[in-house]
Structure 1
Amino acid sequence: MKTILIVEDEDILREISKDYFLNEGYNVLEAADGKTALDLFQKHDADLIVLDIMLPELDGWSVCRRIRKSSDVPIIMLTARVDEDDTLLGFELGADDYVTKPYSPPVLLARAKRLLESRSKNGKLAKPEDALAVNGIKVHYPSRTVAIEGNIVNFTHTEFEMLTYLMENRGIVITREQLITKIWGYEYAGDDRTLNTHIRNLRTKLGEKAAMIVTIVRTGYKFEAHS
């Protein structure tokens, strides 16, 4: 049974979301403030976090930042803000997706299911092989770890999905639309800056290996395994 941690200070919204997840067979943990959310996260194994930005005690950005220091658990941020820069900040801190308030609980549930589908029951990707290595970058699917020249580098859930998708299709041009559909699905409603932010974060973590992700102008990206 997958466990969802819902962090929302509005009691009615939290209860409605909780009921939807419970009806789908998920276990649900609840927190009404950021401090409680971190306490629950440290004590329990959450498979996905639904995280509001505006919280008492500790805001969602701070919670996300602290969780990302030790975990790549998928995080969906909830925001009532209309400023897209705030949303992009969430992605830069490691959020995997966001839902804008007021939102439809079925939509939130669908987004959560999509993020969880990329992992098997034991937290492993549904891949026939265990590892993929290309020019000093080694991906280990069962543990969802990435080593660059032997050094482990922490990637968020979405960054890991993007990197492995590009590596698995190395030498092939992947359009922006293909990448968006692969990561967020056909119902994606964000703008181009969301994808740009994730690609920028991915390149930053790859360091000197970032040159392998080549931008194809007005089309998309290609992973080139340089010799």
Structure 2
Amino acid sequence: MGSSCEIKFIGTDASPFANRVQFVLNLKSIEYEYIVENLACKSELLLTSNPVYQKVPVLIHANKPPLSESLIIIEYLDEMYPDVHPILPSDPLDRANNRFWAAYIDNMFIPLFEELRKTPDKEGKEAIKKQIIERTQLLEEVFVKFSKGKAYFGGDNVGYLDVVFGCFLGWVRFVERHNEFKIIDEAGTPKLLEWANRIWSHEALKDVIPGSETLMDFYMMLQVHKPARAI
């Protein structure tokens, strides 16, 4: 993307939080400059753009102050560009419910995957796997409720929860392979499985979700900089 773009986006390919922003930028056909960050050696641009958390994603829009945190950035883009592929529903109660489940995904679901990585003993890992499966089955129920028999959490079109959860699918599949258990499958979450296959091939997402090699490189970086707890 050209450096003359009004929007500059600081991210890293393996971050599902950065991927969310890319997904929304693509859905809304917004041109942007992508600045790839090395989280093992953070740039001065990142540190000055997000001095509080010092992490990606960060969005810089023209001469406005930088924005951080993926959910905040998504909502900002949705409000700034409301006429192309709205992300959040128009009804206030529906919007609130979407935000509730997005917070659940970020605070109650995704952290379990990091807990699984950092837990050294087999018994502890099995307990976390059980929690992941249970919470995925809850998200299956959420999908059924929100989609109302249609293709996406957002109904006929990709919506807020499709972006929030959909961009974590690469890591879901990576963890399934490397921990020898199924998280989204025909037996436990058939509707989510259909949804996952559908959104995985979405035109705006298919070049955003990182491949297995990218995820493995990031995983190995985590193992070095944030190693598992000692037994």
Please, what TM-score do these two structures have when normalized by structure 1? 0.30
* Bigger fraction of residues in strand: 1
> Which of structures 1 and 2 has the larger relative contact order (alpha carbons within 8 angstroms, sep 6+)?
2
- Could you tell me the TM-score, scaled by structure 2's length? 0.30
